[in-house]
């Protein structure tokens, strides 16, 4: 398919197709990524955690890094390098866990949803939670995966495809936060992505570094074209766009480069650049 034909596909359908591909790549019963590794004769990985960046990072501190599954380590390093250049491509294009909560939130009218940024700053909480996820394994007995929405979604999907229901209390709490409070009743539906997901926070950290080094392209607004209609602010699922000092600003610590703002801008004022 050439670019012109691809661009004729509605934006929402292209977006959904990317997330469905991510689902097929990582989750049972499809697990195409694992099957590909197996076909290449590579050691099977523990999926969808094969490139969870938190685990190897935490294991640097615990001393377990050298014992990790080599697929996990290599996938993670490649993943970090890609984020330096592409930004949070996994969040913005492939992660069905975030997209699922975002889609779910559309079931509730906006007037019943919370705009968390009015009350708390998202980026410091996001990075603070990432630190906690990495530091808490040092505390004997703490199992941080149970507090990860990515893991919860994996468990949910396994049950859907016939696995026995085996939610622990922490995992059930995570699910309630992820789907109900931070999903259904949060503007944009990506409250867990914004505040608590270690996978997303790691990607944003590498994106922020990549943007600072001018390796990654970030979302920018052409001030001359922008009429301050606020549609990009309203539609951003990560609440990464702000009207500040009469200009639209993008927060690289939250933006997942999903393209929703660009698609909705009536003046085509949003572009990516270094
Ligand atoms: S922040 Fe986490 S749950 Fe959200 S899209 Fe990114 S990886 Fe997925
Ligand atoms: S949607 Fe476009 S024109 Fe409207 S505020 Fe955002 S950048 Fe400006
Ligand atoms: S600022 Fe635009 S590209 Fe970034 S998360 Fe929001 S809608 Fe997506």
What's the chain's Rg over C-alpha atoms? 19
Query: In sequence order, which residues have a C-beta less than 8 Å from that of residue 205 and are 6 or more positions away?
Result: 127, 130
* Ligand 2 atom, smallest distance to 243 CA: 5
CA count, 13 A, side-chain hemisphere, 36: 9
**Ligand 2 contact, 243 CB (< 6 A):** no
pLDDT(142) > 80:
no
pLDDT at 225: 97
Nearest listed ligand to the Cα of residue 154: 1
Write the pLDDT tens digit of every residue in 5-22: 777 889 999 999 999 999
Positive or negative CA dihedral for 103, 106, 107, 110? positive
Q: Which of 223, 229, 263 to probe ligand 2 with, by most ligand atoms within 8 A of CB?
A: 229
Q: Which of 87, 261, 272 to probe ligand 3 with, by most ligand atoms within 8 A of CB?
A: 261
| Mean pLDDT, residues 1-8 taken together | 74
Tell me the CA–centroid distance for residue 203 and ligand 3, in Å. 14
Q: How far apart are CA 251 and CA 218, in angstroms?
A: 9
Tell me the CA–centroid distance for residue 97 and ligand 1, in Å. 6
Q: Which residue has the higher pLDDT, 206 or 160?
A: 206
**Ligand 2 contact, 229 CB (< 6 A):** yes
User: Cα–Cα distances in Å, from 88 out to 179, 203, 217?
Assistant: 22, 5, 11
* Ligand 1 atom, smallest distance to 194 CA: 1
Q: Which residue has the tokens 């409250």?
A: 191
Q: Given pLDDT bands bounded at 50, 70 and 90, which one contains residue 242?
A: very high
Write the pLDDT tens digit of every residue in 72-92: 778 788 888 999 999 999 999
Tell me the CA–centroid distance for residue 220 and ligand 2, in Å. 11
pLDDT(97) > 90:
yes
**Ligand 2 contact, 173 CB (< 6 A):** no
Sorted by where each begins, the domain ranges of the chain are 3-216
Q: How far apart are CA 189 and CA 199, in angstroms?
A: 17
Q: How far apart are CA 3 and CA 194, in angstroms?
A: 32
Tell me the CA–centroid distance for residue 240 and ligand 2, in Å. 13
What mean pLDDT value characterizes the chain? 89
- Residue 33 sits at φ, ψ, to 5 deg, of -65, -45
Nearest listed ligand to the Cα of residue 229: 2
Query: Which residues does ligand 1 sit against, CB inside 6 Å?
Result: 90-91, 95, 97-98, 149-150, 193, 197, 199-200
| Mean pLDDT, residues 175-202 taken together | 95
Q: How far apart are CA 251 and CA 123, in angstroms?
A: 9
Range in 10-19, 21-30, 38-47, 161-170 the model is least confident about: 38-47
pLDDT at 146: 80
Q: Which residue has the higher pLDDT, 187 or 1?
A: 187
Residue nearest to atom 3 of ligand 2 (CA): 226
pLDDT at 140: 64
**Ligand 3 contact, 240 CB (< 6 A):** yes
pLDDT(61) > 90:
no
Q: How far apart are CA 219 and CA 183, in angstroms?
A: 24
């Amino acid at each position: 398919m050439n670019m012109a034909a691809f661009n004729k596909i509605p934006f929402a359908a292209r977006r959904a197709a990317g997330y469905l591909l991510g689902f097929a790549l990582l989750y049972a019963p499809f697990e195409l990524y694992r099957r590909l590794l197996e076909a290449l004769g590579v050691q099977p990985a523990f999926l969808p955690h094969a490139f969870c960046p938190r685990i190897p990072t935490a294991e640097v501190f615990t001393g377990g890094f050298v014992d990790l599954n080599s697929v996990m380590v290599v996938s993670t390093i490649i993943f970090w390098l890609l984020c330096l250049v592409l930004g949070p491509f996994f969040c913005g294009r492939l992660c069905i866990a975030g997209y699922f909560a975002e889609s779910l939130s559309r079931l509730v009218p906006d007037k019943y949803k919370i705009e968390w940024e009015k009350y708390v700053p998202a980026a410091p909480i996001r990075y603070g939670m990432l630190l906690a996820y990495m530091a808490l394994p040092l505390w004997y007995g703490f199992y941080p995966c149970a507090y990860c929405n990515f893991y919860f979604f994996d468990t949910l999907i396994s049950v859907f495809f016939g696995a026995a229901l085996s939610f622990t209390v922490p995992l059930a709490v995570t699910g309630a936060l992820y789907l109900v409070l931070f999903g259904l009743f949060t503007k944009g539906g990506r409250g867990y992505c914004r505040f608590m997901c270690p996978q997303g926070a790691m990607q944003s950290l590498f994106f922020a570094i990549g943007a600072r080094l001018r390796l990654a392209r970030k979302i920018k607004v052409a001030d001359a074209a922008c009429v301050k209609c606020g549609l990009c602010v309203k539609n951003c699922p990560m609440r990464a766009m702000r009207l500040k000092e009469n200009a639209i600003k993008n927060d690289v610590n939250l933006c997942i480069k999903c393209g929703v703002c660009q698609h909705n801008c009536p003046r085509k004022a949003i572009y990516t650049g270094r």
